[in-house]
Amino acid sequence: MEILDISHLVRPFGVREGSVVLAESVGYFPNTVHLAVVDPGVGSLRRPLVLVTVEGSPLVGPDNGLLLPAADRLGGVESAWQITNRELGRPDPSSTFHGRDIFAPAAAHLAGGVSPSRFGPQVEAGSLVQLPLGKVEQAGDSFRGEVLLVDRFGNLQTSFRRTELGQLGLGPGDSVELRLGGRRLTAVLRESYSFGAPGELQVIEDSHGNLAVCVNRGSAAELLGVPAAGSTVVLARAEPDPEG
Amino acid sequence: MEILDISHLVRPFGVREGSVVLAESVGYFPNTVHLAVVDPGVGSLRRPLVLVTVEGSPLVGPDNGLLLPAADRLGGVESAWQITNRELGRPDPSSTFHGRDIFAPAAAHLAGGVSPSRFGPQVEAGSLVQLPLGKVEQAGDSFRGEVLLVDRFGNLQTSFRRTELGQLGLGPGDSVELRLGGRRLTAVLRESYSFGAPGELQVIEDSHGNLAVCVNRGSAAELLGVPAAGSTVVLARAEPDPEG
Amino acid sequence: MEILDISHLVRPFGVREGSVVLAESVGYFPNTVHLAVVDPGVGSLRRPLVLVTVEGSPLVGPDNGLLLPAADRLGGVESAWQITNRELGRPDPSSTFHGRDIFAPAAAHLAGGVSPSRFGPQVEAGSLVQLPLGKVEQAGDSFRGEVLLVDRFGNLQTSFRRTELGQLGLGPGDSVELRLGGRRLTAVLRESYSFGAPGELQVIEDSHGNLAVCVNRGSAAELLGVPAAGSTVVLARAEPDPEG
């Protein structure tokens, strides 16, 4: 059995951010037990879960929305189980570190062949906490989406995808308007970071197929502030500045 | 042989902090060689050590107090050995990176079956540098302890344990007074972070059985400043504010 | 096959910094495929490379100077190959994450025994992008070198080595003058960090044989600002301050 750490860099309490990292990772790991813990509700009544997915790799973690986007990438939830069986965790679990006392032992038992049904009662998939990701809504000539993730380069991953650019009739080299945190900015559509001058504000299709707001050889997060995951961002065709 | 990294996040020169991380980790790893290096005195006369513990897993690192609390968790020191045998390290060791040149090779040789006595002369356990952790003293109606560790969530782990709460006659939901860095604060005793409103200053029994000062969905370290490990903290029953 | 992570802490766009980390690491890993990606030009025309070295361990990464100093430590480049064979990478590679889509798959195939010549056409070693490291020039009674790396302790690794100290006739305990970022500072030559008082500015031969600017139990980077890798630093004998 091999253990791989995908990330320990999700910000504290960043359930939404963690759910993006997880969803974007699971596709690269066939036949894997995925353990994810971003768990501000640890010790409360939120349920500890084992999710069996249609494509087979199970997910282990808290019922706070963290796991569902990843389950969607794996074909959806086939069955969901609440972890209640104390014999499959550490004795006397703490009320503050279920990652160590409940979730990691459960993931290890799953990897060792224990059947999901042994962890506890089955749970209705419809009752699981949802934290919808990636909403994009059209509003006239613009699209309203959200910031999904800020990476360590300061790139802001958004819920927009290439589709929105097509609908706006925009392509590489075109300018685009962004509204974010009360500011209105103009960025240039580029095929990768190094097109355009250093310091240029850019919109780029990132390696997950999402549009990202970037600064060539710089940090968009530093330029724009670090918006919380879930912040609204609007994408529109850039209009000529009437005062410019 | 498998290598696991517990932490690379101990602050520079944080011997005391490293000793807490190590002590709180060793119990989860049976039959393991533990290598720990927080070593501001590298290149000086401080001794490089192999400690054989009563429960069996040996510890490797500098004689500056880093290893002893962990040894205590493993039943205590059975025998201590100074690493002097140059043949069990890198040739021409640097004077600034004994982790690479002396300690890691020693740990690898131990894991490979080399006897502790081959590393060098035996050392009196009583002569090892001690850095006592977790002192708690009663002073009238209050207890004086210390900050052991600040984690990446900004929680301050203290040397207090549930015992002190019992002696003060306090339980979940009660208020408690903290004195820390010249400030006097009121916190609420909670069973886990998510009890109480977001932003609430809390005292919680953490996953190692110590009392931690926390902010629900926030950072106590950000609120209170990041006290150095070893800073004094006083715990008392909260008195009504005479001016309030 | 075992995967080891040397560092994920190279600063964004720090090609020069990454090349130092890589060059200083490869010697410790015999029979290893080295994968290194610091790649601000991802998606542009810069070539993806496999470098076969004289000592055998191949290097995989972008043609931006990142790999050559490491190749020099491994006896030099024996043959260089441009990665163009799409069958040895992920289908539909992104234009922003060649680490995942091109370089890591290539490294995995190399480790699995695929011949370097199968990745694409051979490249003239003389055509590879060079980013020379470690230049030291004598200028009268002083030496002009550069900052190679700032580590997490705030130590500034320079391109100077013990040779320069010898030529200046300086040894442990002597004072030395540093000019860096428009400032002129006096440091003390020490054999390791803990010689001298806490807070002392020091020059020390580090564990790679380079001279490093350090503060005992502190951070030279905090004291002096964090100079970019490649910044000029001048080393001279300390002169008595005429105004002092």
Where along chain A do its domains lie?
15-127, 137-237
pLDDT, tens only, C174-198: 999 999 988 999 999 999 988 889 9
| Band of residue C124 on the pLDDT scale cut at 50, 70, 90 | very high
- How remote is the C-alpha of C62 from its chain's centroid? 15
Residue at C66: amino acid letter: L
Q: Is the pLDDT of residue C209 over 70?
A: yes
For residue C244, the model assigns a pLDDT of: 45
Kindly report the nearest CA distance between residue B100 and chain C, in angstroms.
Answer: 9
Contact C95 A191 (CB under 8 A): yes
Please provide the distance, in angstroms rounded to a whole number, between the alpha carbons at the two ends of chain C. Answer: 62
Nearest Cα neighbor of C153 from C203, C206, C214, C209 is C214
Q: Regarding predicted confidence, which is higher, A135 or C116?
A: C116
Residue A243 has pLDDT above 60, yes or no: no
Partner C contacted by B117 (CB < 8 A): no
Contact between A135 and A146 (Cβ < 8 Å): yes
| Three-class SS state of C41 | coil
- A15-127: CATH class: alpha beta
**A206 touching chain C per CB within 8 A:** yes
Phi first, then psi, for residue A224 (nearest 5°) are -110, 0
**Interface contact flag, A207 C100, Cβ < 8 Å:** yes
The Cα A123–Cα A52 span in angstroms is 11
Note whether A83 and A102 are within 8 A (CB): yes
Q: Are B23 and B133 in contact (CB under 8 A)?
A: yes
Residues of A within 8 A of C13 (CB-CB) are: 217
Q: How far apart are CA C162 and CA B57, in angstroms?
A: 41
Mapping DSSP onto H, E and C, the string for chain B reads CCCCCCCCCCCCCCHHHHHHHHHHHHHHCCCCCEECCCCCCCCCCCCEEEEEECCCCCEEEECCCCCHHHHHHCCCEEEEEECCCHHHCCCCCCCCCHHHHHHHHHHHHHHCCCCHHHCCCEECHHHCCCCCCCCCEEECCEEEEEEEEECCCCCEEEEEEHHHHHHHCCCCCCEEEEEECCEEEEEEEECCCCCCCCCCEEEEECCCCEEEEEECCCCHHHHHCCCCCCCEEEEEECCCCCCC
**pLDDT above 70 (res C242):** no
A81, A122 Cβ separation under 8 angstroms: yes
Q: Enter the tokens of residue C168.
A: 């200046």
Residue B127 φ/ψ, nearest 5 degrees: -90, -5
Determine, for residues C12 and A205 on separate chains, whether the beta-carbon distance falls below 8 Å. no
- Is C219 in CB contact (< 8 Å) with chain B? yes
**Within an 8 Å CB–CB cutoff, is residue B97 touching chain A?**
no
Q: Is the pLDDT of residue C62 over 60?
A: yes
Of B12, B41, B101, the CB nearest to C194: B41
Q: Any idea what the Cα angle at residue A201 is, between residues A199 and A206, rounded to 5°?
A: 110
Contact C193 B43 (CB under 8 A): yes
List the subunits that have 3+ CB pairs under 8 angstroms with B: A, C
- Chain A contact present for B194, CB below 8 A: yes
pLDDT value at A244 more than 50: no
Q: Which CATH architecture has domain A137-237?
A: Beta Barrel (2.40)
Cα angle B194, A98, B5 (rounded to 5 degrees) comes to: 120
- pLDDT for B174-226, tens place per residue? 999 999 988 999 999 999 988 889 999 999 999 999 999 999 999 999 988 88
Size of interface A-B (CB pairs under 8 A): 38
CB-based contact, A200 to chain C, within 8 Å: no
Cα distance between residue A50 and residue A110, in whole Å:
9
d(CA C95, CA C105): 15
Residue in B12, B13, B96 nearest the CB of C207: B96
Euclidean distance between CA atoms C235 and C185, whole angstroms: 10
**pLDDT value at A68 more than 70:** yes
Smallest Cβ–Cβ distance between B193 and the set A40, A100, A101 belongs to: A40
Q: What is the mean pLDDT of residues A13-40?
A: 95
Contact with chain B for residue A42, Cβ under 8 A: yes
CA B46 to chain centroid: 20
pLDDT score for A225: 84
B contacts of C153 (beta carbons < 8 Å): 12
Q: For residue C217, give how far its alpha carbon lies from the nearest alpha carbon of chain B (Å).
A: 7
Query: Residue C38 above 80 pLDDT?
Result: yes
Residue C200, CA atoms < 13 Å, CB-side half-sphere = 18
Yes or no, beta carbons of B192 and A101 under 8 Å apart: no
* Structure confidence at residue B227 as a pLDDT band (50, 70, 90): confident
Given a cut of 90, whether residue A229 has pLDDT beyond it is no
